[in-house]
Chain A
Amino acid sequence: KAGVTQTPRYLIKTRGQQVTLSCSPISGHRSVSWYQQTPGQGLQFLFEYFSETQRNKGNFPGRFSGRQFSNSRSEMNVSTLELGDSALYLCASSPGLSTYEQYFGPGTRLTVT
């Protein structure tokens, strides 16, 4: 079974631009969560989607948004990029809500210049 895939793997954007990151969960998984990882703040939860509905949301500004499609694929969008948005964005999928295992993707490395 294929693992969690994230595209693109690397991205360079300019301050003020917007960006969309994509995550394809493991086949059959219906929950997708997003995390931001930075050297200063560590790993922080962004949001979780299950059956196309946002179930949980972390403490991030409204510039960060996401959605989930009927095939469980998820996208996250960051508008008006700031230098501090440079990070590794990790996606994780689970079969359902409140399940034991979450499987992480390889991440998307976003650099904002």
Chain B
Amino acid sequence: AQTVTQSQPEMSVQEAETVTLSCTYDTSESDYYLFWYKQPPSRQMILVIRQEAYKQQNATENRFSVNFQKAAKSFSLKISDSQLGDAAMYFCAYRRGNAGNMLTFGGGTRLMVKP
């Protein structure tokens, strides 16, 4: 079974600074996808960024980028120029390729942004 681990229950960052959230996963599959989701206090899950395992290039979406280390099974999220609106729970998630949309989530990291 696949597992996703987020070792940092809480992180804090100063506004405008950069922060990196860690995620490791365990799988024997070669075809899979990785995601970072944001869950603000409203509880609505929002997709932040995704990475296809077959792509070597790290995904980037505006201020959000990932460091995907396939051999190490590591998938960290870097948030640059942190904003107050980035404060939320962040979940790392794994999905097998061509096996439906079932996501396996990590335990989450609560990010606090200090003004």
A and B form one complex: yes
**Interface of A toward B, CB cutoff 8 Å:** 31, 33, 35, 42-45, 48, 50, 55-56, 58, 88, 90, 92, 94, 97-107
Q: Given the complex of chains A and B, what is the CA–CA distance between A92 and B37 in angstroms?
A: 13
Q: Given the complex of chains A and B, what is the CA–CA distance between A105 and B47 in angstroms?
A: 12
For B108, what are the chain A residues with a Cβ–Cβ distance below 8 Å? 42-43
For B47, what are the chain A residues with a Cβ–Cβ distance below 8 Å? 101-103
Give the interface SS of chain B, mostly helix, strand, loop or mixed: loop
Instruction: Tell me whether B104 and A98 are in contact (CB under 8 A).
Output: no
Instruction: Tell me whether B45 and A33 are in contact (CB under 8 A).
Output: no
B42 closest partner in A (C-beta): A106
Q: Given the complex of chains A and B, what is the CA–CA distance between A100 and B43 in angstroms?
A: 21
For B91, what are the chain A residues with a Cβ–Cβ distance below 8 Å? 43
Cβ-defined partner of B101 (8 Å) among A48, A58, A88, A105: A48
Instruction: Tell me whether A104 and B45 are in contact (CB under 8 A).
Output: yes
**1/0 contact trace for B95-110 toward A, CB 8 Å?**
1011111111111100
Interface size for B (C-beta < 8 A) is 23
Q: Given the complex of chains A and B, what is the CA–CA distance between A50 and B33 in angstroms?
A: 20
Least CB distance, B33 to chain A, in whole angstroms? 7
Instruction: Tell me whether A45 and B44 are in contact (CB under 8 A).
Output: no
Which residues of chain B in 29-46 are interfacial with respect to chain A, using CB atoms and an 8 Å cutoff? 33, 37, 42-46
Cβ-defined partner of B43 (8 Å) among A31, A56, A88, A103: A88
For B102, what are the chain A residues with a Cβ–Cβ distance below 8 Å? 33, 45, 48, 56, 58
Q: Given the complex of chains A and B, what is the CA–CA distance between A58 and B107 in angstroms?
A: 17
